[in-house]
Structure 1
Amino acid sequence: MTQMFIKKAFVPLLLTSALLTVTACTKEPVAAPKVPSTDTTAPTTGIKYTASFKDGKYDPPITLTTINQISASTTFKNGETMENNVHTKWAKERLGINLKYNWTAPAANKAFETRLRLALSANEDMPDVVAIAGNTALANDLIDSGKFMEVGKMWEQYASPLYKKAVNEDPSMWYPFMRKDGAYGIPIPEYSMNDDTVFYIREDWLEKLNIKAPTTIDEMEKVMDAFVNQDPDGNGKKDTYGMAAAFRDSLVSTQATAGWLFGAYGTMAEIWNEKPDGTLAYGSVQPGVKPALGKLRDWVDKGYIHKEAALMDETKAAALFTSGRAGIIAGPHWMTLFPLADLMKNVPGAKFKAYTLPKGPDGKQGRKGNLNFSGSVLINKNAKNPEAFFVYQNYLFENFAFPGKDSEFKYQFAEGYDYAIIDGKPTADTTKIPGGRVIPQKYTIAFEGARIPSTQMEAYANLAKGNGPTNQFEVRSSLIADAPRLQAATINLALKDISYREKYTAPPTKTMKSRWDNLKQQEKDTFAKIIYGEVPLDEFDNFVKTWESSGGNTITGEVNEWYQSVKKK
């Protein structure tokens, strides 16, 4: 089991290491980046177009080439594809931009990343625009290839006021993409706390077994034991699990995560944490990781967690819950709609509810939180119409991100796709939309249309109080904010102060470039062997010593040198 897990984790790391050796690193990370201006007090000035531009659109239309990674939640209807759909038609009709996809690939199994890295190593021509979800390492490899332009000056000239406002909520989102001579990636703003973890528990199982939801790790173990050994689904078989977990790609993933367990012991594995003294430390080598790994080891051994969790990605782990075989899953507030709503379709009478996170032995709670950006957009040096991306994204920010009452996006992206008008009222109920609900905003270049970090949770906070919508964004949010989501969002907001967010967001340090892949592989190997009982728990102590002497201490110094320089600004 463990060897299969290690092999799957090792292959992409080998590819990454190999490609880094052939990728030119011509632009060093800047110590204290001077981010592009996000001043919204003055309108954009000096607008120049590279083609005929009339009445808000290119006339005749221009072509903008790109590529796309297709996630599991990106679905289509009416025979449409990523290359030809309601969104591509909208871009051409509204903006005079003909979106041409050089290629697309699934996000799953790192297929998109592998395809892009191979294109980079083969020195293929890059498209006009490349959007990278997450994965700042991949974005930085593209930047270091020398194929993409500095975008800070274009940002100041072309970005619209609301676009700048969205990024200005957290200017540090620029840091991963800065070099000495400017910015080379445009951050993609994300909703604050969008991926932060809450607990979901089978409410009908709790009721059937007459037990309460856990508030501590000890209580949780008793609940999981009951879910495994007291036949909560009533089929007379021992075929249920306490918790669904996805270990294949990360122990602190977004869905089916174990991040909250590390948080209960005062750290967050796999990211850089800020210590009480204001310095940064890598979470995976902190003392709290050892007891957390010990718990995971016990839970796998006792059958509380499926023994194939090491082979499960988030989708497969969530399916364990939605098929009725697991009683607990940890993940974001939005899981209520997808995929957890499938539970009720698959298991008649089933129901779940969001709960707070269990506390550790010292009363601690913690969870991995998302940053206020979800990726980046790079613009090719040879793009014929480089400002076209801003024409496109400005429109989405000014009309989609926070719509007015007369906006074409006042309910969702497109009628008949993500909403329908029934008896004069909008609905996002998939059963009432002909052909079911799909989400066209996921077809957009930046994956989710346009987002202003603070808006979503503010909207849910108001709606959860039972107040009517106070603006059109809240009207739109109310279409998908059913009772389960608002209940989960309320839990999410109550936990706003316990999230660990990655504190090191700059490009790789000098030593990271040569040592980090090996250190990460040692981490994956050791943690997997501990969890599956191949080595004693005390092997963690040996791992920490090796990590520190194999470049970890040097990297920690480099990371803190950057962090202190940024904090002085």
Structure 2
Amino acid sequence: MRYQRRLFITSIAVILLLVTVIGCSQSKEANSSGNTGNQKETAEGNQTSGGKETDTLPMSNGKYDPPVTITTVRGVGGDLTFKNGETIENNVHLKWAKEKLGIDIKYLWTVTDTNDAYKTKLRLALSANQKMPDIVALRSDVDKDLIDSGKFMDVGELFDKYASQTWKDAMNEDPTVWYPYMRDGKRYGIPILDYAYNADPVLWIREDWMKKLNLQAPKTLDDLQNIMDAFTNQDPDGNGQKDTVGLTIGFKNWVNTWMSDAGWVFGGYGSMPNQWNEKQDGTLEYGSVSPETKTGLGKLREWMEKGLIPKEAGLFDETKATELFTAGKAGIVAGPHWMPWWPLEDVKKNVKGAEYKAYPIPSGPDGKAGRHDTASRNGVVLINKDMKNPEVFFTYQNYLFDNYANPKAGTEFENGMAKGYDWDEVNGKVVVGGEVPGGSVPVNKYTLTFDGARIPSLSMKTLAKLANGEEAVTPYEKTAKAATPVTVLEAAKIVLEQKDIVMPQKFVGAPTETMKAKNELLQKMEKETFSKIIYGKVPLDAFDKFVKEWNSAGGEKMTKEVNEWYQSVSGK
């Protein structure tokens, strides 16, 4: 699903850290004791979700005494950097967890996560029936295989019993985050929460070209097409050559992706391809076969014929398409609010005097506008059914939600996760990022859940507040203000102002039986047909033939299965 492709480019990890190194409010009681939401520091017995009595783990001053061990595994990606000779198996965060909480985190194995090595190793371990660790955290579709293996427990009752109120409130902002990990009404994985709207697109437009050609902000797709035409045909870069295009997109992977996509074009006609959308009658329909998608394809075909989008769009992936913008050869690109961090600022390095600005998604001829959504989850934690004391993980994660996700002034995570690592104090002044002596490293990424703890609504609300000129009051807001350029703040404000145009992906469950057997074929049919239509190799009416073939080749049966799943989790 979409969240699997939303692993942001590692080159901005440290910069994004400046905004996210913050934790969640906690009560005075939790500050003093470090307890989980419903745990007591007494010798009461505990039960797992399966009803098995667990041994008592004594706690003293908010920590396990003696320390208790959690075993896990990890794929080490390029976003993980270290200092002081540390590694994922031996670092400042692991020392903190043992000293603060009495939790000794041990890695059974780690692997350099290139070419899906972590996913592959998990599959091999599963097929070889190897012993699984207590905790598996991952951002991969292998989660479905692990859940279906029967090696991991129903975590629903555990979460209800042990999760702190702060964590529960964050999870309740979007209860659908549980859907991918549900089987027969039970919850087998704890969603790793992410910031809401984090990849929802705005339009990034070359503002210096707009000024030069005396163009007005686009409100409709027709307005935008006029701007695209001017950017293509009126020599906006002033070099005397016809070497620019209005809009850069890349649909090598799909027409509706996380950056340089064209999903919002279809949204102007009321559809969103490549995902399952809810119709007015409450049932789900695959967006790529809806009648409105045909109209959207017709618009892209027109833009291709007129040279308003690059001829190479079908060969471009998301980053390659965006390079046309940063090279100064395209005037418009769609993408998330954080793109000034990466990669848009490169256009200023490549083109003297270049400026860019965020604009809202324009509406179609009937006043409709639409954009894809960003799931409020970015991974899952699975708990081994043989883990004797699963409540230990909640002690750990509760502390991060209650102290790190949105910290109070004067608390341990006010400036970051670890002094001398992601923040420091120099001459009496708190410094972060490149000002940290010896360099800054993203300690939050050493955590079991990759980013520490995130409250979905917090980031965008904070950025929009700052964009309105309101005062930064909390540590999170002050850090965000110090780290975030005005262009990002303005874009975030637009994202929130247009939140009503979001068209969410409604199917987030495990692949249905027909998907497993037919989806590869159906996706191939879709990509080939869409590409041929956009490039004018087949008539637009070829879409109607595609829809019939898609349904007969398994799409109709798949739609039935998807709706059965949707009814089972939503009650609709």
8 Å Cα contact 1:158-1:387 kept in structure 2: yes
| Aligned counterpart in structure 2 of residue 296 of structure 1, from 296, 300, 320 | 300
Provide the C-alpha distance between the structure 1 equivalents of 2:206 and 2:180, rounded to a whole number of angstroms: 40
Provide the C-alpha distance between the structure 1 equivalents of 2:314 and 2:442, rounded to a whole number of angstroms: 31
In the alignment, structure 1 residue 65 sits paired with structure 2 residue 72: yes
Report the identity percentage.
52
| Aligned counterpart in structure 2 of residue 402 of structure 1, from 396, 401, 406 | 406
**1:487: which partner in 2?**
490
Give deviations 1:154-181, integer Å, cap 9, x for gaps: 3233322211221122223212212237
Query: Compared with structure 1, are the counterparts of its residues 44 and 61 closer, same or farther at alpha carbon in structure 2 (3 Å cutoff)?
Result: closer
Give deviations 1:347-398, integer Å, cap 9, x for gaps: 4432211101122122211000112222211123344664443232222111
**1:410: Cα distance to partner?**
1.6
**1:511: which partner in 2?**
514
| Aligned counterpart in structure 2 of residue 129 of structure 1, from 124, 132, 135 | 135
How do 1:433-448 residues align onto structure 2 when only pairs under 5 Å count?
433-434=436-437, 438-448=441-451
| Aligned counterpart in structure 1 of residue 201 of structure 2, from 173, 179, 197 | 197
3-state SS, counterpart of residue 333 of structure 1: coil
8 Å Cα contact 2:75-2:117 kept in structure 1: no
Which shows bigger deviation, 229-238 or 252-261?
229-238
Provide the C-alpha distance between the structure 1 equivalents of 2:536 and 2:410, rounded to a whole number of angstroms: 60
In the alignment, structure 1 residue 102 sits paired with structure 2 residue 109: yes
3-state SS, counterpart of residue 553 of structure 1: helix
What amino acid is aligned across from residue 136 of structure 2 in structure 1? V
Structure 2 unmatched runs, 5+: 6-35, 47-53
3-state SS, counterpart of residue 469 of structure 2: coil
What amino acid is aligned across from residue 354 of structure 1 in structure 2? A
| Aligned counterpart in structure 1 of residue 244 of structure 2, from 240, 245, 250 | 240
Query: Compared with structure 1, are the counterparts of its residues 425 and 531 closer, same or farther at alpha carbon in structure 2 (3 Å cutoff)?
Result: farther
Which shows bigger deviation, 401-410 or 301-310?
301-310
How do 1:332-351 residues align onto structure 2 when only pairs under 5 Å count?
332-351=336-355
Give the superposed CA RMSD: 3.3
What amino acid is aligned across from residue 43 of structure 1 in structure 2? N
In the alignment, structure 1 residue 463 sits paired with structure 2 residue 458: no
8 Å Cα contact 1:343-1:350 kept in structure 2: yes
Provide the C-alpha distance between the structure 1 equivalents of 2:106 and 2:546, rounded to a whole number of angstroms: 49
Query: Compared with structure 1, are the counterparts of its residues 432 and 201 closer, same or farther at alpha carbon in structure 2 (3 Å cutoff)?
Result: farther
What amino acid is aligned across from residue 470 of structure 2 in structure 1? N
How do 1:155-304 residues align onto structure 2 when only pairs under 5 Å count?
155-180=159-184, 182-304=186-308
**1:548: which partner in 2?**
551
8 Å Cα contact 2:37-2:398 kept in structure 1: no
Give deviations 1:495-523, integer Å, cap 9, x for gaps: 01000111123333343343333322322
8 Å Cα contact 2:202-2:335 kept in structure 1: yes
8 Å Cα contact 1:68-1:101 kept in structure 2: no
What amino acid is aligned across from residue 415 of structure 2 in structure 1? Y
Query: Compared with structure 1, are the counterparts of its residues 331 and 117 closer, same or farther at alpha carbon in structure 2 (3 Å cutoff)?
Result: farther
Provide the C-alpha distance between the structure 2 equivalents of 1:293 and 1:426, rounded to a whole number of angstroms: 52
Which shows bigger deviation, 231-240 or 406-415?
231-240
Give deviations 1:547-568, integer Å, cap 9, x for gaps: 2222222222333334345444
8 Å Cα contact 1:460-1:489 kept in structure 2: yes
Which shows bigger deviation, 315-324 or 400-409?
315-324
Query: Compared with structure 1, are the counterparts of its residues 173 and 333 closer, same or farther at alpha carbon in structure 2 (3 Å cutoff)?
Result: same
Provide the C-alpha distance between the structure 2 equivalents of 1:154 and 1:161, rounded to a whole number of angstroms: 14
Which shows bigger deviation, 342-351 or 360-369?
342-351
3-state SS, counterpart of residue 188 of structure 1: strand
Which shows bigger deviation, 558-567 or 514-523?
558-567
Query: Compared with structure 1, are the counterparts of its residues 84 and 534 closer, same or farther at alpha carbon in structure 2 (3 Å cutoff)?
Result: farther
Provide the C-alpha distance between the structure 1 equivalents of 2:306 and 2:251, rounded to a whole number of angstroms: 17
| Aligned counterpart in structure 2 of residue 322 of structure 1, from 309, 323, 326 | 326
**1:43: which partner in 2?**
38
Provide the C-alpha distance between the structure 2 equivalents of 1:82 and 1:202, rounded to a whole number of angstroms: 42
| Aligned counterpart in structure 1 of residue 538 of structure 2, from 535, 540, 543 | 535
Provide the C-alpha distance between the structure 2 equivalents of 1:518 and 1:541, rounded to a whole number of angstroms: 18
8 Å Cα contact 2:37-2:162 kept in structure 1: no
Query: Compared with structure 1, are the counterparts of its residues 316 and 51 closer, same or farther at alpha carbon in structure 2 (3 Å cutoff)?
Result: farther
8 Å Cα contact 1:402-1:472 kept in structure 2: yes
Query: Compared with structure 1, are the counterparts of its residues 244 and 94 closer, same or farther at alpha carbon in structure 2 (3 Å cutoff)?
Result: farther
Provide the C-alpha distance between the structure 1 equivalents of 2:119 and 2:248, rounded to a whole number of angstroms: 27
What amino acid is aligned across from residue 402 of structure 1 in structure 2? N
TM-score (norm 2): 0.81
What amino acid is aligned across from residue 137 of structure 2 in structure 1? A
What amino acid is aligned across from residue 187 of structure 1 in structure 2? P
8 Å Cα contact 1:412-1:476 kept in structure 2: no
Query: Compared with structure 1, are the counterparts of its residues 513 and 396 closer, same or farther at alpha carbon in structure 2 (3 Å cutoff)?
Result: same
Query: Compared with structure 1, are the counterparts of its residues 514 and 562 closer, same or farther at alpha carbon in structure 2 (3 Å cutoff)?
Result: same
What amino acid is aligned across from residue 413 of structure 1 in structure 2? M
8 Å Cα contact 1:68-1:131 kept in structure 2: no
Give deviations 1:220-256, integer Å, cap 9, x for gaps: 2232233334343344554433333232333211122
Which shows bigger deviation, 202-211 or 276-285?
202-211
Provide the C-alpha distance between the structure 2 equivalents of 1:86 and 1:363, rounded to a whole number of angstroms: 53
How do 1:69-84 residues align onto structure 2 when only pairs under 5 Å count?
70=77, 82-83=88-89
3-state SS, counterpart of residue 548 of structure 2: helix
What amino acid is aligned across from residue 451 of structure 2 in structure 1? E
8 Å Cα contact 1:69-1:106 kept in structure 2: yes
Question: How many pairs does the alignment contain?
Answer: 526
| Aligned counterpart in structure 2 of residue 141 of structure 1, from 142, 145, 151 | 145
Query: Compared with structure 1, are the counterparts of its residues 340 and 85 closer, same or farther at alpha carbon in structure 2 (3 Å cutoff)?
Result: farther
8 Å Cα contact 2:67-2:98 kept in structure 1: no
TM-score (norm 1): 0.82
3-state SS, counterpart of residue 149 of structure 1: coil
**1:400: Cα distance to partner?**
1.1
**1:201: Cα distance to partner?**
1.0
3-state SS, counterpart of residue 338 of structure 2: helix
**1:419: Cα distance to partner?**
4.7
3-state SS, counterpart of residue 177 of structure 2: helix
In the alignment, structure 1 residue 393 sits paired with structure 2 residue 388: no
What amino acid is aligned across from residue 70 of structure 1 in structure 2? G
Provide the C-alpha distance between the structure 1 equivalents of 2:117 and 2:324, rounded to a whole number of angstroms: 24
8 Å Cα contact 1:44-1:160 kept in structure 2: no
Give deviations 1:460-491, integer Å, cap 9, x for gaps: 33322212124333233323333112211111
Which shows bigger deviation, 308-317 or 536-545?
308-317
8 Å Cα contact 1:68-1:445 kept in structure 2: no
Provide the C-alpha distance between the structure 2 equivalents of 1:226 and 1:463, rounded to a whole number of angstroms: 34
